[in-house]
Amino acid sequence: MIEGVRKSRCEKQIFRHNDMAHLETLLRSAGDRPKLIVFESLYSMDGDLAPTQAICDLAARYGAMTYIDEVHAVGMYGPRGGGIAARDGTMERIDVIEGTLAKAFGCLGGYIAGSAQLIDAVRSYAPGFIFTTALPPAVCAAATAAIRHLKVSEWERERHQNRAGRTKAVLATAGLPIMENDTHIVPVFVGDPERCKQASDLLLARHGIYIQPINYPTVAKGTERLRITPSPNHDDELIDELADALVDVWEELGLPLNRRALAAE
């Protein structure tokens, strides 16, 4: 999404994270010029959510189009897995919805959804689309089956939220510095790039657990973290093993634990 903004060579203004007052100031200053608000629904590094209703209200007020990135939410949120906009009732108010066939749908590839006229314009003029290769039929069939299943099955979404909630509770009880949010993203704060990479290496070498280290430029310097995304298939035993492994690594690297949580336990 960011690369698309850069390659468009259009003037851009960056509004502060989820700051609707700042966004309104920028929209007002743009006057009658064509405007497009580009944002994510679920920010995967912190696990927080965009206020889609408020953004759509501002877009309507100032004559702007909207583009939402739902890649971390499709299949996992909304009554039929449509994403955060579906959950919030704002899908019909958004001009372009970007999603992925990976993650919840277990395949690969991506898509955008919008009006017939808009999609036809992208199909006709976007060089990145014109000069690409179509997905193999087997991948398309698998993605279609996954989407059809998740439209009608709530078990995976309910179980996913349950597993994420339990992971957060178990890690917090173990004294690990969970970065709180209301989604399935479970970031564990480290705050140092070298020790973040060391923690990831130790987890894999000593415990057979792979968790990717998240460092700059993906997150701001000083906010490095391990990012965990539990699946519906992670049972209680696996979550408990993860907590024990993380505590072992934290102690090995001299990373701080929440002693108050440990004392309460």
Active site residues: 103
CA distance 252 to 148: 46
- The closest alpha carbon to 174, from 228, 106, 112, 99, belongs to 228
Tokens of 261: 């949580």
- Tell me, what DSSP letter sits at residue 51? -
Longest CA–CA span in the chain (Å) reads: 63
- Give the 3-state secondary structure percentages of the chain, helix then strand then coil, rounded to 5: 50, 15, 40
Phi, psi of 12 (to 5 degrees): -130, 150
Q: CB-based contacts of 171: which residues, under 8 Å, 6+ apart?
A: 178, 186, 188, 242, 243, 246
- The closest alpha carbon to 111, from 87, 139, 92, belongs to 139
- The closest alpha carbon to 213, from 45, 95, 72, belongs to 45
CA distance 198 to 228: 16
> Which ranges in the chain belong to alpha helices (H)?
2-8, 20-30, 52-62, 84-88, 116-125, 127-130, 137-152, 155-173, 193-207, 236-253, 259-264
Q: 102 with 108: CB under 8 angstroms?
A: yes
